[in-house]
Structure 1
Amino acid sequence: MERENGLWLRGKSLVIFLATAAFMLILFGLANIVLFTPYLGVIEVGFGIALLINLVLFKLGKFSFSLSSTLFLFVLFLCFSVLLLTGGIRGTGIFWVFTFPLVSFFLKSSRVAAIWNLLFIIVLFSILFFSSSGFKVTPYSQITLLQAVAVYMTFLVLVYVYSSVMKSYLDRIYNTAIRDPLTGLYNRTFAFAYLRQELEKVKRGEIKSLCIVYIDLDNFKYINDLHGHSAGDLALKEIAELIRRKFRKGDVVARIGGDEFLIVVSRCRKERIENRLEELKAQVEDKFREFNVSISYGIAVAPLDSTDIEELVKIADKRMYSNKKAKKGECRTPSIAS
């Protein structure tokens, strides 16, 4: 879900970029056709139409974000190369190339964006080389091209540093928003948002089964009573880590209350989940034998039990309490005096 949220945000930005670039290219293209350089105007209008087609296919879901953003950068790459070679309208085309680092680093990973910019720098140096060799391949002077290369590379470094720093800050902010500060597991807000999203996939038939596990710790309060809340917090961290290790990396393991946990498992088999939980129960009981701490759990399966989020959680919660009551007579509770 974290990755999907990032793609959703960049997807909205891609739509804005495509629409803006298409509008500007068609506008300047028509101006060139009527007032300045007709052949260049035709090329610009062609690039603009290509971006509009890309935009429509992306909005219709025919193109993925990866494909659409790659095609966008490819069209910009060609367009800016043409502007360098022709000068654009009265030699102003060179100013547009400095938008390329910003767009590429926003739409692509740092590594991929760096490759795109390296290719563009090669184009800049090639034009500079041929110009210095006596070939008239561009209307710009050598000093202008040298300045353009220097400014472009400086701007590229600044964009790279800014992008890296901002990504680091945004990752921290995002993790703070979706993580439980004590255990590092996902928090209640994220878990239920993710569960709601996965249930929609179940309804559409994209996922055949979805399991949710509701876990509550038994006798956990005795750790707090005997050794204080600091010891209780440490125990919670250790139990959270045991739970996390029992599930796959793609499963969402969340702490939703004091000593309550919720796990969302896509494409699951209930029997396998039960086996993992019994292993987890044995590990918790062994590690905290002194306090007779254990776990009670309940499992609900969509679409078998329900596809309604509230109903599904209620079923898992009810089964967890049934599990807790069934073993209540088996549990001994340690005496505080001991």
Structure 2
Amino acid sequence: MAWRNHSTVTEFILLGLSMNPLNPHVQALLFVLFLGIYLLTLTGNLMMLLVIGADSHLHTPMYFFLSHLSFLDLCFSSVTVPKVLENFLSQKKTISVRGCLAQVFFLYVTAGTEACLLSVMAYDRYAAICHPLLYGQIMSKQLYMLLVWGSWGLGFLDAFINILLAMDLVFCEAQIIHHFSCEMPSILPLSCSDISRNIIVLLCSAFLHALGTFLLVFLSYARIISTILRMSSTSGRSKAFSTCSSHLTAVTLFYGSAVLRHLMPNSGSLVELIFSVQYSVITPMLNPLIYSLKNKEVKAAVRRTLEKCLQHIRCSSKDRRW
């Protein structure tokens, strides 16, 4: 089953963002742009992980979910962007078949887990706003740990089933992938094997995964909006909206661009690439900004963490002088 069937074609050509390889200035500009985005993604998400881990005020279910979201965004971006950067500097825009399938697997794990996690975070906001007095009992440590690791488990299971079937495919058609990364809908047409089973499993898993997570988000926010509209206090409504605005923004960015991307045919069009860049490159960079700029608790925790670091530096410098 393993890799023996891949002897006909050993590598693919990724042309998604390299349609004009003769213009080195465009390649250099895109390299700098994507490198800047990637560095901002690493910095922002590592900062969120550091602040949440170091500040005891943020050791709550919501920030536990947020720390996993930051880790997922780090992984999600790191699966594709380093290869994109390499291709900008290389004449051969190639990726091995093994590397391509590995990229598909990790994309499915991270994207699938993130979809589950965003729906779990919506349920957390529902419990906090609709049942504030019972929130501690509803969102117990046992439950929120189960929800997070369940999200990881579902993401891994979805990826494992799809990639297990893809490992038996024989690739002997055109090697060109009109995309900047490997995705299952992009590589299936390159196979000369029977892909009907792969397509059925892909559609079923994507439909169940997307529908299940989106339905939980939709139902949670339907109850949240209903509860907010019944509040008599204007300040209470404003505070409740503010509590879930960051998460709602993250959900809209992720689901909106991902759904639009996968509803489009795999033609390598500019619009398709823009939506792909949005959900796999831009959104992981924006999430820490969304949660830090619109959240007073995170901003206060960042200040406390920076003050602790500065104090530690000052103490270290005094010790060296003595």
Give the TM-score normalised by structure 1: 0.27
Which has the larger share of helix? 2
Which has the larger share of strand? 1
Higher relative contact order (CA 8 A, sep 6+): 2
Give the TM-score normalised by structure 2: 0.28
Larger Rg: 1
